[in-house]
Amino acid sequence: MFSVLATRSCVSYARQVVASILSSSNYQLENHTIDYTNSLTVTTFADGEMEVTLNESVRGRVVFLFTTCARNESGLSVEECKIELYHTVDVLKRSQAAKIHVFEPYISCSRSDRTTRRNSVGFWIHYKTLISLGCDHVITYQLHSDKSKTVFDPCLCSIDDVPAISLLQRYLCETDVKTCEYLRTHIRDNWAFCSVDAGGEKLASKFARSFETQLIVAHKQRSATRPDTIDNFTIFTSGDLDGRTIWIVDDMIDTAGSIYGLVRELRKRAKRAINVMIIHPVLSGPAISRITELKDEGSLGRLVVCDTVFCETPAQRLPFMEVIKSGDFSARIITTIVQNQQMSDIIDRFSPDAFLTTRACALTDKPIDITRA
C-alpha cells in the first residue's frame, strides 16, 4: 500500500492526482492499494509556533507528499508553507513511513541557486533541511537551472526533475496542429519559437527541433541602476519574422518584466500578436498588470501556462489565460515509481509526428503505423 498526503497548500492538486490514478485504465496498479485521506492536522500555538499531527498510521508505507511553497489555495506565505512541509516530513519519519517522496511541482526557492562570497543559497537550504529530516526522494517539474540538480547526493536523497515541456507541446498539438498534414504544410514554415534570454535558448530549441520550426534567441541587457528592469533586447534569428506566428517559451514568468519588453520588441518585427507559453505561472508583483496591458494594446495573443502554481486567483484577473492541467501527468509519474518502471517514456523527447499519428489512429480505430510513429 502507498499513501498520498498533502500539506494545506496543495490539497486540491493532490486530490486531482489521486482522481487521475483511480479513474484511468492506464494506471491500474497490480498488488498496490492507494490510500488518500486528509489526515494531517496543523496546530498553531499562541506564540505562532506550529505542530503537525498525523491522524493515521503510515508505518511501513511508501508516502507521496504533495506540497508547494509558492502561491497556493490556502493563501499561506512562503515561510509558513516551508515550515509546515518540514514539520510534515518530520512526523512522517517519526511515524516510520518506509519511504518519503516529496512531490513539489514548482520549487520556488530554485531561483536562489547562485553562490557569491556573501549570500545564502535558498535551494541548498531547502534540500539540506529535507534530507536531514528524512526525505528520500524529491520530485519536481522543470527546475529553473539544470545545475541545481548537482547539489543532490543520490546516496542521501534522489531527485527527479521531470521536464514539463511535453505538456506544452502536447497541448499545442491538440489545440493548434491537430494533424500531421497541417504540421508539415503550415506549422513548420510559419511558426517560430523564441527564448526569453540566452539562458533559455536550450528550452526554446527543444520546441523548435520538435516542431521543426525557426528558432529565435533573445539576449536581454539588464539595467545597471534599476532592479528588475530591461534596457534592451537583441534578437538573433536566421530568417524574417514578418507574418510569423511566434511563441515565446520559458520555464517561468515572475514579474513579467522580460516578457513585457520582449513581446513589444518582437511585435515590431512580426507585425502580429505574440504568444507566450510558460510552465510555472509565478506572476508576482506587477506581472498581471503588465500582461493585461500587453493584451489590451493587442501585442499579446495567447498566454498558456501549467497549473504547477495555483492559478485560480490570477485566472480571475486574466480570463484569457489558458491553463494546462498537470495532475494526470503527476499520476503517471507516481505509478511509474510505484511499479519500479523506467522514466524514459515520460522524459524522452516529445515527437509531434508520433503523437499526431497515434492520435489519428486512435480516433479512426486504425492500426498504428510503427514506421511513421
Q: Model confidence over 172-187: pLDDT tens digits?
A: 999 999 999 999 999 9
pLDDT at 370: 36
pLDDT at 367 over 50: no
> pTM for the whole thing?
0.89
pLDDT at 4 over 70: yes
The model's confidence at residue 328, banded by pLDDT at 50, 70 and 90, is: very high
Q: Model confidence over 64-101: pLDDT tens digits?
A: 999 999 999 999 999 999 999 999 999 999 999 999 99
Of 86, 77, 102, residue with least CA distance to 160? 102
Which helix or strand (DSSP H or E) is residue 45 part of? Answer: none
CB-count exposure of residue 258 (10 Å: 0-12, 13-18, 19+): buried
Q: Which residues contact 78 (CB under 8 A, 6 or more apart)?
A: 69, 70, 108
- Decide if 2-162 and 165-325 have a common fold: yes
The model's confidence at residue 371, banded by pLDDT at 50, 70 and 90, is: very low
Question: Which of the given ranges, 300-304, 343-347, 353-357, has the highest pLDDT on average?
Answer: 300-304
Average confidence (pLDDT) over 30-49: 80
The model's confidence at residue 112, banded by pLDDT at 50, 70 and 90, is: confident
C-alpha cell at 123: 535551494
Q: How far apart are CA 142 and CA 164, in angstroms?
A: 6
Q: Which residues contact 19 (CB under 8 A, 6 or more apart)?
A: 327
**Amino acid residing at 171:** Y
Please answer whether residues 299 and 264 qualify as being in contact, where contact means their C-beta atoms are separated by less than 8 angstroms. Answer: yes
Q: How far apart are CA 310 and CA 281, in angstroms?
A: 8
Q: Model confidence over 267-278: pLDDT tens digits?
A: 988 888 999 999
What's the CATH number for 165-325? 3.40.50.2020
Q: Model confidence over 190-230: pLDDT tens digits?
A: 999 999 987 889 999 999 999 999 999 988 776 656 655 66
The full set of domain ranges for the chain reads 2-162, 165-325
pLDDT at 34: 67
Please answer whether residues 219 and 265 qualify as being in contact, where contact means their C-beta atoms are separated by less than 8 angstroms. Answer: no
pLDDT at 38 over 80: no
Average confidence (pLDDT) over 45-69: 95
Average confidence (pLDDT) over 340-354: 85
pLDDT at 226: 61
Q: How far apart are CA 208 and CA 352, in angstroms?
A: 11
CATH for 2-162 (3.40.50.2020, 1.20.1440.230, 3.40.50.1000, 3.30.390.10) = 3.40.50.2020
Of 2, 68, 70, 71, residue with least CA distance to 37? 2
pLDDT at 368: 42
